[in-house]
Homo-oligomer: A and B are copies of this chain.
Amino acid sequence: MLDALISAEILRTGVESIITLVPESRFRISENGLTSRAVDPANVAMVSLELKKDAFDSFSATESEAGVDVSKLYEILKMAKKGDTVELLVDEDRGKLEIRFSGLKYSYNLIDPSAIRKEPKVPNLDLPARITMKSEDFKKAIMAGEKISDHVVLRTDEDNFYIEAEGDTDRIVFSLSKAELIDFTPSNARSMFSIDYLKEFVKPISRSEAVTIHLGTDYPARFEFDISGGKGKVEYLLAPRIESE
């Protein structure tokens, strides 16, 4: 059971980070906050959302699990205005989720959690390079890469981070030096990823100032960003594409 007040913007960003991969997910509710984790149908990407108790203006919960149509929830939250506070009620006993803001009450059925694909385990990954960059730089690079290819290479050397895309006769390289990055743990790492997924990640990432990327070689990468200064947190794990050359 959850009965909480939260800024519509914070909740919307959290829900948005999930619907980039799946339309339905399990909400795990505890006295520490709300978490959700899901894998996309193609098994290529995983999202972990955490909204700490701190992220809520008021928070009353008992430990439980609820299946939520996050896609519908997002549609409703899009109607909230900047600054709106939302009341979120998750009631497994009645099988209902209710959300209220500015005169509007939206209620709908919870989904049996067992009908939703099981939560994935988070694999243990050793990712040597860590890059923290401005979200708008990340967005710019992905949008540029998309113009000429359906995949990009993320790469680091000792001094720079590169996002590279290659078309039939053209090539885009977006590079940021150590000084242009917010934070940088250098290493020689290089993996290739599908732009379709990265483009989806860009949407919620753009609501944060910065994104941190953990990168290895021909290995999954992890993309992390904060919601509302650390009150919430999102992690994407994305499998690499195999380079065939």
Contact = CB atoms under 8 A, between A and B. Distances in A.
B144 A79 contact: yes
Given A76-B144, A147-B76, A172 B137 contact: no
A79 to B, nearest CB: 6
Contact of A180 (B103, B105, B107): B103
Nearest to A80: B140
B141 A104 contact: yes
A175 interface: yes
B72 A170 contact: yes
Contact of A79 (B102, B143, B171): B143
A4 interface: no
A59 interface: no
Contacts of A72: 170
A1 B104 CA distance: 49
A103 B169 contact: no
Interface string A138-182: 001101100100000000000000000001011111111000100
Interface in A165-210: 167, 169-176, 180
A144 B169 CA distance: 42
B140 A107 contact: no
Q: Size band of the A side of the interface?
A: 20 to 34
A186 B137 CA distance: 53
Nearest to A170: B108
A140 B104 CA distance: 9
B107 A171 contact: yes
Given A76-B147, A79-B143, A103 B137 contact: yes
A54 interface: no
Contacts of A126: none
Contacts of A102: 140
Given A104-B174, A106-B144, A109-B169, 10 more contacts: A76-B144, A79-B140, A102-B140, A103-B137, A103-B174, A103-B175, A103-B180, A104-B172, A106-B173, A107-B171
The 4 residue pairs across chains A and B that have the minimum distance between CB atoms? A108-B170, A109-B169, A105-B173, A106-B172
